[in-house]
Amino acid sequence: MSDLFGKLGGIYLLPVALALIAFVLIGAPSSWLTLTVAGLAMGMLIFLMASGLSLVFGLMDVLNFGHSAFVSFGAFVAASTLAALSGWLGAPSILLNIAALVLALAAAIAAGLLAGWLFERIIIKPVYHDHLRQILITMGALIVAEQLILATWGGTPTNVPRPAFLEGSIIIGDAAVEIYRLFALVLGAVVYLGLYLLLNRTRIGLLIRAGVENREMVESLGFKIDRLFIGVFMLGSGLAALGGAMWAGYVTLITPALGAEMLVIVFIVVIIGGLGSIQGTLLGALIVGLSANYVGFLAPKLALASNMILMMIILLWRPNGLAPAAKGH
Amino acid sequence: MRGTLTVKGAALLIWALLLFAPFLFQDVRQIEVAARIAIFIVLVASYDLLIGYTGIVSFAHTMFFGMGAYGVAIALKQMGPGWTPVLLGSAAGVAVALVLAVGIGLLSLRVKAIFFAMITLAAASVVLVLATQFSQFTGGDDGMTYRTPDLFKPATKLLVDAEGKVLSIAGVKMNGKIAAYYFVFVISAVLFWAMLRITGSPLGTVLKAIRENEARAEGIGYRVVAYRTAVFCIAAGTAALAGATYAVWLKYTGPQTALSFSIMIDILLMVVIGGMGTMWGAVIGATLMVLAQYYLRDLMEVAAGATANIPLLPELLNPERWLLWLGVIFILLVYFFPSGIAGTIIQKGDKA
Amino acid sequence: MSLLSIQNLSVSIGQYAVLHDVSLKVPQGGVFVLLGRNGAGKTTTLRAIMGLWQPSPGSIRFDGEDITSLHTSDIAKRGIAYVPENMGIFGGLTVAENMVLATANGTYDPQRLDWVYGLLPALKTFWDKPAGALSGGQKQMLSVARAIIEPRKLILVDEPTKGLAPSIIDAMAEGFREISAETTILLVEQNFAFARSLGRDMGVIEDGQIVHTGTMEAFAADAALQDRLLSLSAEGAA
């Protein structure tokens, strides 16, 4: 039985199983399709936000409680860029539409990279090996970052314009599937693929995977992990900012509290998926995205609690999460 | 030993001031401050039991505090004023807190200390959302007001003079407000004393051994997870009791006073300012921070007004930037001053 | 002229002083064996050389250069390889990936690879398998293979025989003998029979201090000294 389960894909079948159960419970195929696409899209965006956190923890044992500041930062930078380019967004030319979107996402990523670099140098570096102070300091940094965002963009909800070509829905049978969600889904998949290739097909990726398992041994073979680490940290913050930017377009109304809200979901995802591996993070993100949408439809009041319950069940079953990176020490 | 004596002396002085607070500070707001200090000393000391004595970080301390507060609030709201709802509500709040603490502890403490921080954060935010969602019980975002036992009514005469009027001692009226204050004071003092006893007991020694070297403590044969879970439960139960007491004092319970994450940040700051790992530090940290909350913010407002013509300064001094400064101070403290006021005085004084 | 010289090295981990005032000279060539009981400070000495513990105080000179405060990766680049007690295998990576990380620039010298294959034939069989699936002996061989895939000046080996079957230990001794023809080896051991068969010079560490240095020949001949310093002559003979 468990052999069969393993052969079919093991834990990676969980999202499929979840979708099948939801199909039976929901009953209406069109609602199910809409919810499934929404869930997968949400999962992909959460994956963008969570992947960096997970890798950074795996590589350096650093858990950054301020990670979600990059998410908010990316969201607001993208929103401001889009607002500034609103002429291009509404233009009938799809090229101008795309240019505005690309610029907004690029601005978010650039802001994320820069913020990540500053964060790593100022906040993280002095407390590499001290978990207690690390948690406290990164939490303090999250507060400061959130307050800076509040001071810059104000507390009132900010509207996020979407490019015209991503507005509207495609009708499949009876089901309406939002184009923006499909876009988020594709973008997330492309980023995952890119990360997968980076980690599995390049020497840098090999070093990262080895470093996640045993940092000291990688250094004993003559490589400097610190230099690798800041690269991974910046990559992670850039991706989080991209996730935030996409999320802003997904919800279309954002407040500075966005980061703190996402932090909890991102934590649940990396705990479910297991720290240190992007496969695990993707798995956790998809499970959380799907279940949030299904439960939100079936029993709206339980939506948030359902994530928590899901996490508890998975921790009881696998205390280290579904697919954590192998730790050599 | 001089440093330790200084710290203990300062803490005892604070307790003495709290004991005589109604006579020393007769303004309503000042009594409010004194009661808040007493409650937060307990809350911070119980948190320090966790972070300072076992080295694990929880973000769910406010959640336990809130469970006590909501327990009492819901009981008083549903059953009307009286001692039975206070006792029942406290007991229910503590019970729920303990059950959750055991669950979270056993689930996450056996894996990695870092999971614990993440899971407590997640749990606390879920509880906060649930508390605002189930508004028929909790009053939602607005919270709820209720009446407390008659003893605490301002009109209650504790002592009367010959004419049947409220007796005044040293100019202070012996009314229900005094009774309420001493209710808060006595409970806080007893809880603090109990925690002091715990840290001095064999359990405290074991906890220190675990904090210093987990692997070694495990090697000696201590069941680290069991001990940590036990401390987590003690801290959670104490926080719930403090919450229940505060709910009786405030006659109001809502997310802002009992559950919000900013209380958690306050607690963290108080622990760090006072000094982790010393119960006496909690007294100092809580006092300084509550005073700053009440008076420094006013000062910022005045300063912002006074500097209105200078560029940038009023923006920085705006009381709305309070949290920003707290965050910055917090980071700087953890960097440069990790042992806090009490820890630093003890180290310096004991060396000299 | 010694290849590695440790001067007055002390190391504290937390509040525990693990090494006090260790001085040791490892000459160029051959196998230098450091003997000692569990917890005597053998592993700490190797880790300090590798820069994984910071000495306070003390100095370590290697090949005429002070490497005391160099970063671990820079020490490795000076030509020191480390085979730790837990072998330090990347279990999630394949054997091939483990090996390629040990090369300086991702490419092999084919002749050298053949030589390594010749020494450790199992390597070739498991080349594309995940290293985590290997047996203890195979992992040990992979760890040694990583250390010798590039020419090094010094290899630090921490208890390579631990938990291995006697037949494998014999093969391993043969391998180390051949490696020592080109590279100096600093071997930490508790298995005296294995150590005696390889060592030219030796030292004994006890409670974080060097209590004896000399040639292996003299030490092996002096049963009383062994008994006093190691109280493991019985174990060693067994």
> Which CATH number goes with the domain that contains A151?
1.10.3470
Same domain? For C68 and C8 the reply is yes
What are B107's two structure tokens? 């689930």
Band (A301; pLDDT cuts 50, 70, 90): confident
Band (A185; pLDDT cuts 50, 70, 90): very high
Facing residue for A224 by CB, picked from C71, C86, C100: C71
How far CA A74 is from CA of A190, A254, A285, in Å, comes to 19, 11, 19
Does B330 lie at the interface with A, CB-CB under 8 angstroms? yes
Is A267 in Cβ contact with B122 (below 8 Å)? yes
Instruction: Spell out the residues 6+ positions from residue A284 whose beta carbon is closer than 8 angstroms to its own.
Output: A50, A268, A269, A270, A271, A272, A273, A274, A321, A322
Does B265 lie at the interface with A, CB-CB under 8 angstroms? yes
Q: What is the mean pLDDT of residues A122-145?
A: 87
Dihedral, CA atoms, B134, B136, B138, B144, nearest 10 degrees? Answer: 150
pLDDT in tens, B234-276: 999 999 999 999 999 999 999 888 998 889 989 999 999 898 8
Q: Name the pairing type of β-strands C2-13 and C31-35.
A: unpaired
What are A101's two structure tokens? 């979107």
What are B87's two structure tokens? 């006792």
Is B114 in Cβ contact with A301 (below 8 Å)? no
Q: Is residue A287 part of a domain?
A: yes
Helix (H), strand (E) at residue A178: strand A175-178
Q: Are A251 and A83 in contact (CB under 8 A)?
A: no
Give the whole-angstrom CA distance, residue A242 versus residue A97: 18
Q: Name the pairing type of β-strands C31-35 and C184-189.
A: parallel
As a whole number of Å, the CA-based R_g of chain A is 20
Measured in angstroms, the CA of B54 and the nearest CA of chain A are apart by 11
Q: Give the pLDDT confidence score for residue C235 in this predicted structure.
A: 46
Same domain? For C58 and C115 the reply is no
Give the whole-angstrom CA distance, residue A235 versus residue A199: 13
Supply the range of the domain harboring residue B205: 2-351
Chain C residue closest in CA terms to A212: C90
Give the whole-angstrom CA distance, residue A147 versus residue A155: 10
Asked if pLDDT for residue B282 goes beyond 80, the answer is: yes
What one-character-per-residue DSSP string does A226-284 give? Answer: HHHHHHHHHHHHHHHHHHHHHHHHHHSEE-TTHHHHHHHHHHHHHHHH-TT-HHHHHHH
What are B310's two structure tokens? 């200078």
Query: C-chain residues within 8 Å CB-CB of A219?
Result: 52, 71-73, 76
pLDDT in tens, A305-323: 888 888 888 888 888 888 8
Q: Is residue A25 part of a domain?
A: yes
Facing residue for A320 by CB, picked from B55, B111, B268: B111
Is A126 in Cβ contact with B123 (below 8 Å)? no
Last residue of a domain, one of C135, C151, C167: C151
What total number of domains does chain B contain?
1
Same domain? For C100 and C207 the reply is no
Give me the long-range contacts of A153-159 (CB less than 8 A, separation at least 24): A153/A76, A153/A80, A153/A256, A155/A255, A155/A256, A156/A255, A157/A253, A157/A254, A157/A255, A158/A76, A158/A79, A158/A253, A158/A254, A158/A255, A159/A79, A159/A83, A159/A252, A159/A253
Chain A positions touching chain C (beta carbons under 8 Å)? 203, 206-207, 209-210, 213-214, 216-225, 325-326, 328-329
Domain at B278, CATH number: 1.10.3470
> Tokens 């009023």 belong to which residue?
B314
Angle ∠(A143,A144,A147) on CA atoms, nearest 5: 85
Give the whole-angstrom CA distance, residue A148 versus residue A156: 14
Q: Give the pLDDT confidence score for residue B324 in this predicted structure.
A: 87
Band (A5; pLDDT cuts 50, 70, 90): low
φ/ψ of residue A217, rounded to 5 = -70, -35
Give the whole-angstrom CA distance, residue C177 versus residue C185: 10
Q: Give the pLDDT confidence score for residue C234 in this predicted structure.
A: 43
Asked if pLDDT for residue B109 goes beyond 80, the answer is: no
Q: What is the 3-state secondary structure (H, E, C) of B281-304?
A: HHHHHHHHHHHHHHHHHHHHHHHH
Q: What is the mean pLDDT of residues C86-95?
A: 91
pLDDT in tens, C8-50: 888 887 767 888 889 999 999 889 999 988 888 889 999 999 9
Lowest mean pLDDT among A116-125, B37-46, B312-321, C96-105: B312-321
What total number of domains does chain A contain?
1
> Tokens 């200090």 belong to which residue?
B37
Q: Give the pLDDT confidence score for residue B237 in this predicted structure.
A: 96
Average per-residue pLDDT for chain C: 87
The ipTM, to two decimals, is 0.90
Query: A-chain residues within 8 Å CB-CB of B125?
Result: 260, 264
Is B51 in Cβ contact with A132 (below 8 Å)? yes
Residues found in chain B: 352
Does B118 lie at the interface with A, CB-CB under 8 angstroms? yes
Query: A-chain residues within 8 Å CB-CB of B103?
Result: 312
Q: Give the pLDDT confidence score for residue C18 in this predicted structure.
A: 85
Facing residue for B331 by CB, picked from A132, A137, A270: A137
Same domain? For C174 and C75 the reply is yes
Is B130 in Cβ contact with A136 (below 8 Å)? no
Q: Give the pLDDT confidence score for residue A6 in this predicted structure.
A: 62
What are C17's two structure tokens? 């002083």
Measured in angstroms, the CA of C26 and the nearest CA of chain A are apart by 20
Q: Is residue A105 part of a domain?
A: yes
As a whole number of Å, the CA-based R_g of chain C is 17
Is A144 in Cβ contact with B328 (below 8 Å)? yes
Q: Is residue A322 part of a domain?
A: no
Asked if pLDDT for residue C238 goes beyond 50, the answer is: no
**DSSP one-letter code for A124:** I
Q: Is residue C114 part of a domain?
A: yes
Q: What is the mean pLDDT of residues C185-191?
A: 91
How far CA B83 is from CA of A132, B80, B174, B253, C37, in Å, comes to 41, 10, 21, 17, 67
Give the whole-angstrom CA distance, residue C210 versus residue C35: 10
Q: Name the pairing type of β-strands C154-158 and C184-189.
A: parallel
A-contacting residues of C 174-233, CB under 8 Å? none
**Number of H helices and number of E strands within chain C?**
11, 10
Closest CA to B263 of B233, B280, B284, B243: B243
Percent of chain A with pLDDT over 90: 50
Q: Is residue C126 part of a domain?
A: yes
Average per-residue pLDDT for chain A: 89
Query: A-chain residues within 8 Å CB-CB of B111?
Result: 315, 319-320
Measured in angstroms, the CA of C52 and the nearest CA of chain A are apart by 7
Same domain? For C65 and C105 the reply is no
Sign of the dihedral defined by the CA atoms of residues B219, B225, B228, B234, in that order: negative
- The pTM of this model reads 0.86
Measured in angstroms, the CA of B62 and the nearest CA of chain A are apart by 16
Give the whole-angstrom CA distance, residue A211 versus residue A200: 13
Domain at C211, CATH number: 3.40.50.300
Q: How far apart are the first and last CA of chain A?
A: 32
Report the amino acid identity of residue A59: L
Q: Which of A4-18, A42-56, A91-105, C15-29 has the highest mean pLDDT?
A: A42-56
What are the residues facing C6 on neighbouring strands? C24, C60
What are B320's two structure tokens? 């709305």
Closest CA to B285 of B296, B272, B298: B272
What are the residues facing C191 on neighbouring strands? none
Chain B interface, best mutation among A144, A258, A327, A329, by max B CB count within 10 A = A144
Q: Give the pLDDT confidence score for residue B343 in this predicted structure.
A: 85
Query: C-chain residues within 8 Å CB-CB of A216?
Result: 52, 72, 84, 88
Q: Give the pLDDT confidence score for residue B111 in this predicted structure.
A: 67
Q: What is the mean pLDDT of residues C69-88?
A: 92
Angle ∠(B309,B311,B317) on CA atoms, nearest 5: 90
pLDDT in tens, B1-23: 778 888 888 889 999 898 888 88
Q: Is the bond preceding C57 in cis, omega lying within 30 degrees of 0? A: yes
Asked if pLDDT for residue C223 goes beyond 50, the answer is: yes
Supply the range of the domain harboring residue C193: 1-79+155-215+230-238
Query: Residue B194 half-sphere exposure, CB side, CA atoms within 13 Å?
Result: 14
Give the whole-angstrom CA distance, residue C65 versus residue C55: 16
A-contacting residues of B 13-72, CB under 8 Å? 51, 55, 57, 59
Maximum Cα interatomic distance, chain A, rounded to a whole number of Å: 60
Same domain? For C11 and C101 the reply is no
Helix (H), strand (E) at residue C97: helix C95-102
> Tokens 């966005």 belong to which residue?
A258
Q: Give the pLDDT confidence score for residue C237 in this predicted structure.
A: 40
Asked if pLDDT for residue B46 goes beyond 80, the answer is: yes
Query: A-chain residues within 8 Å CB-CB of C88?
Result: 214, 216-217, 220, 328
Is C104 in Cβ contact with A213 (below 8 Å)? no
Give the whole-angstrom CA distance, residue B214 versus residue B192: 27
Instruction: Spell out the residues 6+ positions from residue A190 whose beta carbon is closer than 8 angstroms to its own.
Output: none
Closest CA to C34 of C164, C208, C163, C180: C208
Q: What is the mean pLDDT of residues B146-152?
A: 86
Does B323 lie at the interface with A, CB-CB under 8 angstroms? yes
Asked if pLDDT for residue C222 goes beyond 60, the answer is: yes
Asked if pLDDT for residue A241 goes beyond 90, the answer is: yes
Query: Residue A128 half-sphere exposure, CB side, CA atoms within 13 Å?
Result: 11
- DSSP-based three-state secondary structure for A5: helix
Instruction: Spell out the residues 6+ positions from residue A206 whose beta carbon is closer than 8 angstroms to its own.
Output: C93, C97, C100, C101
Last residue of a domain, one of C151, C180, C198: C151
Same domain? For C161 and C49 the reply is yes
Q: Are B48 and B246 in contact (CB under 8 A)?
A: no
Facing residue for B331 by CB, picked from A135, A140, A311: A140
Instruction: Identify which has the larger pLDDT, B248 or B171.
Output: B248
Percent of chain C with pLDDT over 70: 95
Last residue of a domain, one of C105, C121, C151: C151
Average per-residue pLDDT for chain B: 87
Give the whole-angstrom CA distance, residue B279 versus residue B46: 9
Same domain? For C40 and C132 the reply is no
Same domain? For C26 and C138 the reply is no
Query: A-chain residues within 8 Å CB-CB of B126?
Result: 264, 304-305, 307-308
Query: A-chain residues within 8 Å CB-CB of B129?
Result: 304
Query: A-chain residues within 8 Å CB-CB of C148?
Result: none
Band (A7; pLDDT cuts 50, 70, 90): low
Q: Is residue A2 part of a domain?
A: no
Is A209 in Cβ contact with C73 (below 8 Å)? no
Closest CA to A231 of A259, A203, A258: A203
What total number of domains does chain C contain?
2
Same domain? For C100 and C179 the reply is no
Asked if pLDDT for residue C236 goes beyond 60, the answer is: no
Asked if pLDDT for residue A247 goes beyond 90, the answer is: yes
Q: Give the pLDDT confidence score for residue A127 in this predicted structure.
A: 83
Same domain? For C19 and C74 the reply is yes
pLDDT in tens, C109-130: 889 999 888 888 888 888 899 9
Q: Is residue A329 part of a domain?
A: no
Q: Are B245 and B59 in contact (CB under 8 A)?
A: no
What are the residues facing C34 on neighbouring strands? C188, C203
Same domain? For C72 and C164 the reply is yes
Is C81 in Cβ contact with A213 (below 8 Å)? no
Band (A3; pLDDT cuts 50, 70, 90): low
Q: Give the pLDDT confidence score for residue B87 in this predicted structure.
A: 95
Q: Name the pairing type of β-strands C2-13 and C16-27.
A: antiparallel
pLDDT in tens, B193-232: 999 999 888 888 888 887 777 777 776 767 888 888 899 9
